[in-house]
Amino acid sequence: MKEEIIKKLEEIVGPNWVDTDSERVISYSREQTNNAYDLVTPQPVEGSVIVKPAGAQEIAEVLKYANQELIKVIPKGAGTGLSANAIPTEPSIILSVERLNSILEVDEENLMVSCETAVTLGDLIEELKKNDKLYFPLHPGDEGAQIGGMVAMNAGGVRAVKHGIMRDQVKGLEAVLPTGEIVSFGGKFGKLLKNNAGYDLMQLLIGSEGTLGVITKVVLKLYPEPKATGTLIIPYQKRRNAFQTVPKILQEGIIPMAIEYMEKEEIEDAAQGIGKEWPSKEGDSYLMVILAEDKEDTLYDKAKVIGEICEEVGAGEILIAETNAEQQNILEIRSHVLPAIADKIVDSPDVTVPRSKLAEYLDQLDQLAEKYNTKIPVIAHAGDGNLHPIILKEEGEVPSYYDQLKEEIYQIAVELGGTVTGEHGVGMLRLKFLPLQLSQAEQQIMWKIKEAFDPNEILNPGKAVVKVLN
């Protein structure tokens, strides 16, 4: 990066908050994708600079300067993403929001929390422990994830069945547009329950993967803390039976906090990796059902109904974790699956299909495994139809059939009415697969939205959307 650019950035944020050290720059240029899918993830280029603004005004000045000089800008959060979304492919300003890390208000009357973008999920959980009335339900699997990043990627993860994904939690946000304007969405204080004024631009920012603006503040919904919670572990010999169970539970009017799916080898690797023990020794695959109810009696009644449904579909002996410690152990094991198996896998596509098609999708995955003479393990947020088929390494390398298998994994999902990404986002990893799902007209509209927000294409270029010519 040129010396005059460094000097100008130091004028904006102060010399202590501009970093050109090559090792740190490369560290900030990476994300979790580089660790999880190292053989197929683009590597960051050298020559970028880290800038750490103190707030929205400094971010606005950085973006105005970047527009003037046509310098690319990569918004940087915690780096927990899994789509190759925050990796610079040319020398860029890596705009770290780490200094914007304050929880501004827990509003008990409106059941909302206001926080700056770099507040982590772990920070939020700890703050809400001080208030035994309210909680925030979403858990993408890594409590180091930042709230702004969860909004930008429209995070889902565990515990999204009952209350929805990140898009369903956001009531207001502040962002800096690529051209440097500071805007607020969701009313003056971001606490409206209803707002029908004009196009809903806030929804465009949610899930935009840092391509339409830099999120600086967020207002989230909170929920009354449930009085009774329990986690069921349900073993199966055949994974198809596990997925057949999911619609049957929901058809009974039971809406759990989460319905997760995992397989024996992967979940035991995860448990061993953090020095814990998976509680069930029966079966080759499992559903993990988290219930959260107002009364213990209601919880046990629903657990009984679930047990009867599972028995009909061929489940083994169901275990229930009732204490907070037991439930936390199970959640920690489930959240550690990807790090535990990272050295075995090439990639883990992120597809979603209608819940009614889960078992059919599994059948077609089995056919693909037979076609390519491999195994395709699956971990899944089964309650919302979101699956992560795992493409395994062969002798530590990318298998020769990788590209074709990955495309077929996506193609089958789309043919069943699904999507090529349910929660991780497009980033760079899924960009070339968008035409499997989106028409040229849809892609053109998306690109025109990108141009309207970012006319000079400086903000997180080459991610999330494809430039489609008329």
Continuous H helices in 255-323? 264-273, 296-312
- pLDDT on residue 365: 97
Distance CA 337, CA 333 (A): 7
Q: Tokens standing for 341?
A: 């198996």
The yes-or-no verdict on residue 68 having pLDDT over 80 is yes
Q: Helix 56-69 to helix 3-13 angle, to the nearest 10 degrees?
A: 160
Distance CA 9, CA 360 (A): 54
The yes-or-no verdict on residue 364 having pLDDT over 90 is yes
pLDDT, average across residues 355-375: 96
- pLDDT on residue 192: 84
- Residue 18 contacts residue 58 (beta carbons within 8 Å): no
pLDDT, average across residues 387-410: 97
pLDDT, average across residues 83-104: 97
CATH number of 103-224: 3.30.465.10
The yes-or-no verdict on residue 189 having pLDDT over 80 is no
pLDDT, average across residues 58-76: 98
The pLDDT tens digits of the residues spanning 170-185 come to 999 999 999 999 999 9
- pLDDT on residue 470: 64
Helix (H, G, I), strand (E, B) or coil at 38: coil
The yes-or-no verdict on residue 131 having pLDDT over 90 is no
CB atoms under 10 Å from CB of 79, counted, come to 22
Distance CA 392, CA 347 (A): 7
* 342-427 under CATH 3.10.20.30, yes or no: no
Regarding the domain delimited by 228-335, which CATH topology (the fold level of the hierarchy) does it fall under?
Alpha-Beta Plaits (3.30.70)
Q: Tokens standing for 220?
A: 């989230």
The yes-or-no verdict on residue 469 having pLDDT over 80 is no
- Residue 119 contacts residue 343 (beta carbons within 8 Å): no
- pLDDT on residue 157: 87
Distance CA 108, CA 105 (A): 9
The yes-or-no verdict on residue 347 having pLDDT over 90 is yes
> Fold match between 103-224 and 228-335?
no
Regarding the domain delimited by 3-96, which CATH topology (the fold level of the hierarchy) does it fall under?
3.30.43
pLDDT, average across residues 340-345: 94
Question: In the chain, what are the helix, strand and coil shares in percent, each to the nearest 5?
Answer: 40, 20, 40
Categorize the per-residue pLDDT at 158 as very low, low, confident or very high, splitting at 50, 70 and 90: confident
Q: Tokens standing for 225?
A: 């803390």
To the nearest whole number, what is the mean pLDDT of the chain?
A: 95
Q: Where are the domains of the chain?
A: 3-96, 103-224, 228-335, 342-427
The yes-or-no verdict on residue 188 having pLDDT over 80 is no
Continuous H helices in 102-191? 121-129, 147-152
